[in-house]
Structure 1
Amino acid sequence: MIQIMIVDDHGILRSSIKQYLSEHVDFRCVGEAATVSGAIALVTKQIPDVLILDLVLPDGSGVDAITRIQEVAPNIPILIFTGHPEEHYAVNVFRQGVRGYLNKSCSPDELAEAIRKIALNGRYVSQKVANLLAQNMNRKSDKLAHELLSERESVVFLKLASGDKAGEIADNLGLSVKTVSTYRTRLLEKMGLTSNSDLTYYALKNGLLT
């Protein structure tokens, strides 16, 4: 049974998705929320197999909403389900670690396919999103490694490069040590580096430390 949570501020849409999920024997809706804070309250109690998340909510949107949820549930499998065109958000949210991106104009069958794939620890990438990701990879050579980081990753990067310990960063940013460790792993991977010493050398080389 795939346990699913739905976070969307439109009650009619949540009801429609729940109705559709109930028609599948392998799906079970275990929670719903209309806000980021509501989503945080849900995932604090239980991590679903898939979190269906809209990108525009009353108390947060876009990358900020994803970051706030990941701070309490770092490895949560997120499927973005939004009315925004893929070219507006898809590349950035995949950098944030989401597992899939679907436009609300998709077919119900495509939603089911995405849920099943993500629940099996996979990623769901439509052809349109795949094309956008490929285009972005071709442009990466024009950017420095640290420019690929999210805002929160950049903050953690500079603190690590300055010699701060994970516990100190956690206290300073109001995060758990585990969450800081997750950010560290993610930013090292994005930057193609392997250690805190590498981060310090990179920051000094590029004039990022004063």
Structure 2
Amino acid sequence: MRRQVLIADDHPLIRYGLRCLLRDCDDIGIGGEASDGHETLRMVRGPQQWDLLVMDLSMPGRNGLELIKLVKAAQPRLPVLVFSEFLENLYAVRAIRAGASGYLSKKAGADDVLLAMRRIAAGSVFFSERVTELLATHPGRDAQELPHTRLTDREYGIFSRIVNGARLTDIADELSLSVKTVSTHKSNILEKMTLGGQVELVRYAIEHKLLDAAG
């Protein structure tokens, strides 16, 4: 029986590429597509049973780590593969802790993408060598934590966007928040990380290799 994959990505070219990748596969195929977080949730909560959700982290509407948690709350047995433009060191550990069964950068080769889909749809997990290394070295709750690991998932998402040059208004639009709320989050981030301002945030991100170099 051919396993059914739901693809959630706001870029038509990515969805087209994944359709082409699976077009001739007898064991796994794309059964549906979503272009934003709200549509993804609607399809996950709908009557059709999916064997795998392949999702981007950055989409209009509900997105990122919050979307993974909402998907798992609605369908705990639905495995999730994050297929993201963000490099592994930025979000992989947090995505897996949110409920994802695997994480791949969009720079991954076609063979790795297909292998990850098949493994996760079959009920296993898929971690690249880099993700395995990150999981092994990521500080536990009782370890001496780096300042950015103290941030909540929402705060980390805003931190990541700020250090990669996004304006507060753009972040507010993307996350469907008010500018005031984003500004409050920024203040909380600076306080938790004991940093003096945006320049220090960027410097910290550079020192700890947390800038998005995927583009």
**TM-score of the pair, normalised by structure 2:** 0.64
SS of aligned partner of 2:132: helix
SS of aligned partner of 2:143: helix
Match status 1:91 vs 2:103:
no
Which of the pair has the greater relative contact order for Cα pairs under 8 Å at 6+ separation? 2
Answer yes or no: is the 8 Å Cα contact 2:85–2:105 preserved in 1: yes
Deviations 1:116-158 (A, max 9, x none): 1111210000000000000015675336xxx999779xxxxxx
Give, in whole Å, the separation in 1 of the partners of 2:4 and 2:23: 11
Give, in whole Å, the separation in 2 of the partners of 1:130 and 1:53: 20
Aligned residue number for residue 13 of structure 1: 14
**TM-score of the pair, normalised by structure 1:** 0.65
In 2 relative to 1, CA 38–130 (structure 1 residues): closer, same or farther, beyond 3 Å? same
Name segments (4+ residues, structure 1) moved above 4 Å: 137-140, 147-152
In 2 relative to 1, CA 148–113 (structure 1 residues): closer, same or farther, beyond 3 Å? farther
Answer yes or no: is the 8 Å Cα contact 2:69–2:99 preserved in 1: no
Relative to structure 2, which stretch is displaced further, 15-24 or 106-115? Answer: 15-24
Answer yes or no: is the 8 Å Cα contact 1:9–1:34 preserved in 2: yes
Which protein has the bigger helix share? 1
In 2 relative to 1, CA 87–26 (structure 1 residues): closer, same or farther, beyond 3 Å? same
Q: CA deviation at 1:47?
A: 3.2
Answer yes or no: is the 8 Å Cα contact 2:65–2:153 preserved in 1: no
In 2 relative to 1, CA 120–148 (structure 1 residues): closer, same or farther, beyond 3 Å? farther
Alignment of 1:122-137 (within 5 A): 122-137=124-139
Deviations 1:166-197 (A, max 9, x none): xxxxxxxxxxxxxxxxxxxxxxxxxxxxxxxx
Aligned length, in residue pairs: 149
The share of aligned pairs that are identical, in percent, is: 32
Consecutive unaligned residues of structure 2, counting only runs of 5 or more, are 155-215
